[in-house]
Amino acid sequence: MSYSCLEVFELPMVLPSLQILNLKDSHKLLEIHNISRLPNLETLILWNCHSLVHVCETIRLLNSLALLNMTGCEKLWKNSWKMQNTNPLKELKVSTSDEQVTGQSTFSLPPSLQQLFLNDCYLQSTDSSPLSFSIQSFLH
């Protein structure tokens, strides 16, 4: 489904066998609904979905999700998407070229996270805006 022209991705039925969903370069994609209808999803690729602003909260119910790639999803990043209850996410990739994301100062990450890739996110820590990560101490 990469390079699609969809604006809203909404699954009409449960797809229990689907393990990888690749929406890479779906530049018009605004929202993802009913992601819980992919109960065995292991990999979600949202690379360069520049317009994406919403992924339904049921993503937290995906117990098999291990890799989430949000590279180039500036608008989703700006919306302070919380990942604290996404288990067992092992790898999170975020990269953005949008300098307007600098206001992000607190990140809630899942305790299962083993690899975190933050590239060009313009993260800063100052006395008035300390950067803090909420995560268990066994992050590699």
Q: What is the pLDDT of residues 38-59, one digit of tens each?
A: 999 999 999 999 999 999 888 8
What pLDDT digit, counting tens, does each position of 57-77 carry? 888 889 999 999 988 888 876
Percent of the chain with pLDDT over 90: 38
User: Helix, strand, coil shares of the chain as percentages rounded to 5?
Assistant: 15, 25, 65
- State the amino acid at position 4 in one-letter form: S
Tokens 């600098």: give the residue. Answer: 102
Domain regions of the chain by residue span: 18-125
**Residue 102 pLDDT grade (very low, low, confident, very high; cuts 50, 70, 90):** very low
Q: What value does the mean pLDDT of the chain take?
A: 77
pLDDT at 123: 56
pLDDT at 41: 96
Is the dihedral angle over the CA atoms 120, 122, 125, 129 positive or is it negative? negative
**Residue 124 pLDDT grade (very low, low, confident, very high; cuts 50, 70, 90):** low
Strand runs (DSSP E) across 2-136, as ranges? 8-10, 20-22, 31-33, 43-45, 54-55, 67-69, 91-95, 106-108, 115-119, 132-134
